[in-house]
Every structure is written in structure tokens, then in C-alpha cells.
Amino acid sequence: MDFQTILSLSLQSALGPTAVIYALAAIGLNVHFGYTGLLNFGQAGFMMVAGYALVSFPIVLGLSLWLGALAGLLLTVVLALLLGVPTLRLRADYLAIVTIAAAEIIRQSIGAATLSDTFGGQDGLTGFIEPFRALNPYTGSIGIPGLVTWSAFDFWVMTVGWVLVAISCVVIWLLMRSPWGRVLKSIREDEDAVRSLGKNVYSYKMQALMLGGLFGALAGFITALRSASIGPSFFATDVTFFAYTVLLIGGAARVLGPVAGSIIFWFLISGLGIFFAQATGGADPLIPASIMTSTQASLMRFIFLGLGLMLLMIFRPQGIFGDRRELAIDAR
Amino acid sequence: MHVGLTRIAALFAAFFVAVVVLSGSAQAAVPSVSAGGSAECALPEATDDDSISILVRICDRRDEPQTPVEGVTTIVEDSSGQVVGEGTTGADGTAIVDLPGTAIDNLGQSFTVRIDEQSLPEDTQPEVLERTVAINLDSDQSVTFPIGAAEGAGSGIGVQAAQLFVGGIVFSVLLAMAALGLSMIFGTTGLTNFSHGELVTFGALAAFAVDQLPGAIRVGGINITVAVAVVAAFVLSGVFGWVNDAGLWRPLRRRGTGVIAMMIVSIGLSIFLRNVYQYLAGAQSRNYSQFSATQPWEIGPILLTPKELIVALVGMAMLVAVTSLLQFTRLGKATRSVADNPALSSATGINVERVINLVWIGGAALAGLAGALLGLTQGFDYQIGFKLLLLIFAATVLGGLGTIWGAIVGAFIIGLLTELSTLLVPAEFKFVSALLVLIIVLLIRPQGLLGRAQRVG
């Protein structure tokens, strides 16, 4: 058991590109769920649309990568409109089911073999990264030697990513203390009361769905950039569920909740993963193979994740930094 | 309530007998239909590994019994025309071509299987020399090139539609059982249960566990191991439902946890159970010991395997039993009244918690039975229920969340649609078309087909 390695790799993951992606996705869910009370279970769909738009512009259309980013943001707004129109007037769980279904429609359609000439099927697309890589100011590996290091490219993705996270947090902070943000929070608490005050609840919900989708789009961009490729398997349903877990760990309806949640989530997930890999690997494993093989060990972190999500929701639904009074999660 | 319980017990007993009798008669019937042909010209056993193999079988159907054709070269090409594998049929008329890469790499791809005309013996000429296989499941795929086969199969669009319709009905029945459980649980507790798919998987795994016990169970010389396994899965799933409710959901209801919070708890439970299943059963696709390769019956131009017929009949019987239970018994009336208004039901003297507990047992048993039967028809892995979950949701929402008939009607629409849509679009889009219909129906009739309108916002 090498605790130095476990700590080092966990830190690498907790501050690395993956944590950035989930922080951004969870910031989007925070607008949806934390502030407005909308159950969007299709955040992976928003991420996928944006990510593929970003990648398709240079690969399929031969246009600029940066134009692709703009198109990605526009398309997520369109997707939010498409999803919002049929569901925002319905009970909360309808939005949940329709968004999760929509995300799966998007994933199966883009990943289909029929469209593989355009979108590369299950293999996805690669070869778009040059414009982004060209801007990388770093060389060598960067970090605190002996504790945690990242490759120059990862560190460049992280720099861009954490700057985006910081900007997003400031935007959320400003928006949510504005009158507009107060309307969102009151929709979450009592929709009928807001309506009786003459506010157009439907329109506010739609705006929240779009705004949260835009943060999902940023997460989709980073997903494509950090691995220099994109594929349908990056956007499985579980991505959305993990993002919810991230949000709930940090605390919904808190500006920094998703950020703290993502760092803690990936620290624990990587730590558990490496711990069990070490406990079952090697010549004389800590846990004998008759009880747990190394394949089974890779599942342990998800077993703990599921258990953790349940316990968190039961015993501390406000997360670590949340305020229980602010967030009385319930449907009508 | 006691009357209700005895009736349930009677129904279960009747169901058990039905399964045993049906499977017994089917076992007896199979050899007479295939006329011994399956012995000489059988499909090879699907292998349980991470890669996908294409099993090619070439049989001469002009002989009675059918004779395998040996020494024929078969070539497998991917969608770009590149040859990925070759094989020659052995004495049993089959060639096994392993696809390169793992199962995941090949999912969603399609391959063309071609037989080399030169290598065919004189005077044997299959109807088709080329077939395309789409890999949608991570299990081995089999391709048959019958020689002098019964005419008609796969000819006109009408026949194709009829064949898909039959397959759609079988799938719909299973979907309806799973959807009915979800809808009943939603109706009585308000919980949108994202771990319902894991109840389905539980049934498939429980049946597999019983099936794998050493020794075969025989009654009067007929092997009924799988039938017993399915019944055991039904019972064990009911117990699992009780454990779910008593161990998790009832305490949560006592605490007054909101339905949204419970929904997220169910997501956690789904992730937890799915990984526990994979921990215990592995990631590979599995099949039960019996029924793996039975000869289909030819009813007119339509092919129907005995196991599909059994599965459809058992499912139908179960649906009729449960709906009449809900419609005509005191327990059913109590269930419907709890679904309508728990507080008022409680005031009328109905033991609401008890009804909810029975609904959980029944709902989980139905879902588990659906899982076991689905595993019987197409094999299963640890994700079978999770993959089905969205279609179950689509069926219940389409019919109207919380309504009993709605779940069944919705399931039949979704089930038939997924199969029949392959007439018009590639098979890989069949789930997409079902989910699109869900969204379109919500646009036009938000409360679902049979749901009660209730305006929000």
C-alpha cells in the first residue's frame, strides 16, 4: 500500500481536467436544480451537442474551431428551447424523464453507424485539437514536484478550464443576487406564489434552462479538448448522474458548491479507485483474489458512489456547504 | 384483506402450474417440429467471452432431416468492404468467425457475411449468398443460409411487418409487466423510481443463479430447470421488492422525505445495484441453460420460436391476472384508492402502508419476471434493466404516469413501435424513434393517453 501515490494521483484528478468538466456541468445543474428547482437529467445531452458542434466545425465543415464553440453555445440554447416547450408546463418529473430521454436520443443518433461518415460512429472524431494546442504556453510537466504533476497539455486545459469555472462562478453570483435570480429562487420555493405576483414563470424557467445548458456546453467543450477527441461514450447517462452527485456533495444553491463538490468527488473517486487497485494488485494482494479480483476492484468506487449518493440525499441533502432552509427539495 | 391474500396465493399457484405445463409441453413439442433436424444441423453454442463471433450455418433443407453442408468458405466484411475474418464450415455445417476487437468496439457496426460460391458443392444454391448483420447486442450473432428453404421468409414488406409485429408483441408484453410495476409504485407512493431497471435485472440474475445450480430438475422425464428458475426469480424478486420497501423506502416515507429527494436516492440505488450486479455476475452477456437454440415454428410465412410463444403467453396470463386483481378484488380496489388519495384511503380504514408494501412486492415481482423472461428470449447482462429503463419510462409516461391501463397501453405502443420502426429506419434507431414518439405525445397530450389532465403552470 503506497499512500504517497494514492494521495498524489487523487490530487492530480481532483484538480485536473475531469474535475473542471464536472464542476462546469454541475454549475449548470445548479442553475437548473439548485436555484430554479428544474430536474434536468439530460445535462450529458447538452454537453454532447456542444462538444460535437465544436469538433464538427473544423472536421466536418472545415471551419474554425472557435466558430464551432460559438455554434455549440447556440445549439444548446436551441436544445433547451426544444426540451422546455413540451415539459416546463408539466410536473417536475416529466422534465426529468424527457430530458434523460432526449440525451439518450442525441447520444444514440450521433453514435449511429448510419451517420458514421459524418460523426465517426462509436469511434467519434479526432484531429481538431491543433488550434487549441498551438496556444499552449507551457512546456514540460508542471506541478509541485514530488506531490502532484500534470503534463503541459493537461495543465493548459486546466488553466482554461478553471478560468472558465471562475468566470462562471462570478456570473452566477452576480445573477443570483439580482432581481432575476430572486425570481428563480422563488419559483423553486413556490411557483404559484410567483405566478400570482404577475411573473411569467414559464419564461423564467425557460431562461434558467438555457443558462444552465450553456454551462453544460462549456463542460462539453472541455470534454472534447482535454482528450483531443470526442465520442458518444463520453456522454453516457451516468455523466449526468455523476454531475448531480457533484452538485449535491458541494451543496445545491451555493455559488461555490459545484466547484468544491467536484474537487471532493474526484479526490474520493480516484482515491478509492487507486486504493482498491493497489489492494488487489501485486504479488501478495491485501484482498485475496477469491474475494475481489482487479476487475471487481475497479467497480468498488462506483458501488461506494451509489451508496454515498443515497446516504447524502437521505442524511444531508444540503451537501457540505448548503443551507437546509434555503433548499427544501420537493415537488408539488 | 385475507380474501385478497388467498387470491394472490391462488394466482401464484396457477401461474406456477401454467409455467411448468407450458414449458413441459414445449419441450416435448420441439423435437417433433424440427424433426430431428436440430441434432445434425444445430446452431453452435454461443460463447461467453468479451468478443463477438459470427456463427454462420449452412444447412440443406431439402433433405429430411436437414443436412449440414461442409467445406463452404464464408467471408465476413465490415461496412467499408474490408475483410475482417474468414471461416470454413465444419462437419456440422457451421463456421465461427471471430470479429477482431472487443464487443464494445463492434457494437453498433454492421457486417456483411458472404459465402464463396466457388466453394459450394454442386447443385447446392442458397437463396441468398450475402447477409448483413448489425451488432446491437454484445452477444454472438448467428446467420443462416438455408438451401432450398421454405419460401417466403423475409420476402414482402407485409410479411416482414407481420414478423416484426409478432416480435413486437412478445417484447411489449415484457415491457408492459415492467411498466405496470413502475406505474403502480408511482401511483401509490409518488416515487419516480430510477432503480426500477435494476429490479428487472435482479429477476434475470436470480433466474440465472437458480439455473446454474448443479443438477437438472426433472418432472416425468422433462427438464424444467429453466421454468423453475423463472418461477424462483418471480418469487425472489417479490422478496427483493419487500426488502427495498421495508429497508429503504418505508423509512424514508416515515421521515417525510420529499419525492424529488427520493428520486435522487433511487438514482444512487441504481448506480449501487448495477455495480454490485457487475461485481457478482461480470460484464459478459449470458444465456440460460435451455432454449438457447430451438428451431422456430413456421406459421404461414412467420417464424415463431417456442420460447417466444411461451414467454408471450406467460406474460399475457400475468398481465390479465394482475389487472383483474386490481380491477375486481378488495385489495385491488384498496390499491387504486391509495393511488387516488392516500389520506382519504387511510381515513376510510385502509392500511395504506400495507397496500404500498404489497404494491412493492407485486411491482418488483412483475419487473423481475419480465427480466427473467427477457433474458430467456435474448440473453442478458448486468445492464439489461438499465437499458430498458428509458423504454419503461416512455411506456408509463405515454400511457399516463400512475394509471394501470395506461402503462399497459403505453408499453404495447412503445414495444410495437420499436420493432416496426425498423421497417423504415435502420435498426439502431429503434429506441430513438420510441423516445421521439414519447416527446411528441407529451407535446400534444401532456398527461399521457389515459392520464387525467392536471394543469401546472
When pLDDT is averaged across residues B306-317 and rounded to a whole number, the result is: 88
Residues A12-28: pLDDT tens digits? Answer: 889 999 999 999 999 99
Q: What residues of A are in contact with residue B426 (Cβ under 8 Å)?
A: 112-114
Q: pLDDT tens digit string along A57-76? A: 988 888 888 999 999 999 99
Say whether both B247 and B141 belong to one domain. no
A114 vs B428: CB contact, 8 Å cut-off?
A: yes
Domains located in chain A, CATH noted: 3-315 (1.10.3470)
Domain that holds residue B97: 49-149
* Separation in Å, CA of A246 to nearest CA in chain B: 12
Residue B217 lies in a domain: yes
Q: Is residue B400 helix, strand or coil? A: coil
pLDDT at B4 over 50: no
Interface probe for A, chosen from B110, B185, B262, B442 (most Cβ of A below 10 Å), is B442
Residues B265 and B352 in one domain: yes
B426 found inside a domain: yes
Among residues B92, B122, B149, the one where a domain terminates is: B149
Q: Is residue A110's pLDDT more than 70?
A: yes
Confidence (pLDDT) at A222: 95
The CATH number that applies at residue B413 is: 1.10.3470
Are B403 and B233 a contacting pair, CB within 8 Å?
A: no
Mean pLDDT computed over B394-405: 85
Q: In terms of pLDDT, which residue wins out, A202 or B284?
A: A202
Residue B108 is nearest to which of A88, A97, A121, comparing CB atoms?
A: A121
Beta-carbon contacts of residue B11 (< 8 Å; ≥ 6 apart): B321, B325
Asked if residue B154 is part of any domain, the answer here is no
Average pLDDT, whole number, for chain A?
89
pLDDT band (50, 70, 90) for residue A332: very low
Identify the three-state secondary structure at position B94.
strand
Query: Does one domain contain both B102 and B166?
Result: no
Find the mean pLDDT for residues B300-317.
84
Bond into A285 cis (ω within 30): no
Given a cut of 50, whether residue B112 has pLDDT beyond it is yes
Distance from the A243 Cα atom to the nearest Cα atom in chain B, whole angstroms: 12
One domain, residues B287 and B140: no
The label of the residue with cell 417464424 reads: B303
Closest chain B residue to A122, measured at CA: B108
SS3 B46: coil
The 3 state secondary structure assigned to B208-228 is HHHHHCCCCCEECCEECHHHH
At residue B320, the pLDDT reads 94
Domain check: are B79 and B168 in the same one?
A: no
Contacts of B374-378 with CB under 8 Å at 24 or more apart are B374/B174, B374/B200, B374/B204, B375/B203, B375/B204, B375/B207, B375/B208, B375/B286, B375/B287, B375/B288, B376/B207, B376/B226, B376/B230, B376/B288, B376/B291, B376/B307, B376/B311, B377/B170, B377/B174, B377/B307, B377/B308, B377/B311, B378/B137, B378/B139
Could you tell me which residues come within 8 angstroms of residue A200 by beta carbon, excluding any fewer than 6 positions away?
Answer: none
Instruction: With respect to residue B456, please indicate whether it lies within any of the assigned structural domains.
Output: no
Nearest to B258 among A98, A307, A331 (CB): A331
Q: What is the ipTM of this complex?
A: 0.91
Residue A284 has pLDDT above 80, yes or no: no
- With CA atoms as reference, the chain B residue closest to A33 would be B260
Cβ-defined contact of A105 to B436 (cutoff 8 Å)? yes
Total count of domains within chain B: 2
Across the A:B interface, residue pairs with CB atoms under 8 Å apart total: 157
Residue B446: the pLDDT is 75
Interchain pair B271, A248: CB under 8 A: no
Q: Which of residues 219-278 of B touch A (CB under 8 A)?
A: 248, 252, 255, 257-261, 263-265, 267-276, 278
The winner for highest mean pLDDT among A41-50, B337-346, B439-448 is A41-50
* Mean pLDDT value of segment B320-333: 92
More confident site: B355 or B50: B355
Clarify whether residues B229 and B353 are in a common domain: yes
Please, which pLDDT band fits residue B96 given cuts at 50, 70 and 90? confident
- What is the structure's pLDDT at B36? 35
Q: From CA B367, how far away is CA B175, in angstroms rounded?
A: 9
Q: Which residues, other chains included, contact B352 with Cβ-Cβ below 8 Å and sequence gap of 6+?
A: B338, B342, B345, B346
Query: How far apart are the CA of B110 and the nearest CA of chain A, in angstroms?
Result: 8
Residues 396-415 of B with CB under 8 A from A: 397, 401
Q: In percent, how much of chain A has pLDDT > 90?
A: 53
Set of chain A residues whose Cβ sits within 8 Å of the Cβ of B279: 296, 299-300, 303
CA distance A35 to chain B (A): 15
Q: How confident is the model at residue B78 (pLDDT cuts 50, 70, 90)?
A: confident
A85 contacts B432? CB cut-off 8 A? no
Q: Which of B155-164, B215-224, B336-345 has the lowest mean pLDDT?
A: B215-224
Cell of A66: 472557435
User: How far is it, in rounded angstroms, from Cα B128 to Cα A71?
Assistant: 47
Q: Give the pTM.
A: 0.79
Among B103, B128, B149, which residue terminates a domain?
B149
pLDDT, greater one: B404 or B20: B404
Mean pLDDT of B273-296: 80
CB A215 within 8 A of CB A150: no
pLDDT digits (tens, 9 = 90+) for A237-282: 999 999 999 999 998 888 999 999 999 999 999 999 989 888 887 7
Cell matching residue B438: 414519447
In a domain, B248, yes or no: yes
Partner-chain residue, chosen from B110, B255, B269, that has the shortest CB–CB distance to A306: B269
pLDDT at position B42, please?
A: 55
Residue B153's pLDDT band, with cuts at 50, 70 and 90, is very low
Q: What is the pLDDT of residues A88-109, one digit of tens each?
A: 877 777 888 889 999 999 999 9
B348 with B214, same domain? yes
Residues B266 and B379 in one domain: yes
In a shared domain, residues B270 and B400: yes
Q: B258: nearest CA in chain A? A: A330
Among A201-215, B68-82, B397-411, the range scoring the smallest mean pLDDT is B68-82
Q: B288 and B435: one domain? A: yes
For residue B451, list chain A residues with Cβ-Cβ distance below 8 A: none
The answer to the question of residue B450 being in a domain is no
Instruction: Give me the mean pLDDT over the B380-388 stretch.
Output: 90
Same domain, B261 and B132: no
Residue ending a domain, among B149, B172, B203, is: B149
d(CA A148, CA A10): 9
**B428 touching chain A per CB within 8 A:** yes
- Strands, DSSP E only, in B150-238? 218-219, 222-223
Asked whether residue B87 is domain-assigned, the answer is: yes
| Among the partner residues B257, B273, B435, nearest to A314 by beta-carbon distance | B257
For residue B44, being part of any structural domain is answered with no
pLDDT value at A305 more than 50: yes
Contact A10, A267 (CB under 8 A): yes
Mean pLDDT of B189-204: 93
What integer pLDDT is reported at residue B123 of this predicted model? 66
Is the pLDDT assigned to residue A169 strictly greater than 90?
yes
| pLDDT at residue B12 tops 90 | no
Closest CA of chain A from B430, distance in Å: 10
Question: Are residues A313 and B265, on separate chains, in Cβ contact within 8 Å?
Answer: yes
Give the residue-averaged pLDDT of B113-118: 76
To the nearest whole Å, the CA of A178 is away from the closest chain B CA by 23
Contact of B79 with chain A, judged by CB distance below 8 Å, is answered with yes
Residues B141 and B280 in one domain: no
The model's confidence at residue A40, banded by pLDDT at 50, 70 and 90, is very high
> How many whole angstroms separate alpha carbon B392 and alpha carbon B402?
13
- Using an 8 Å CB-CB cutoff, list chain A residues near B278: 299
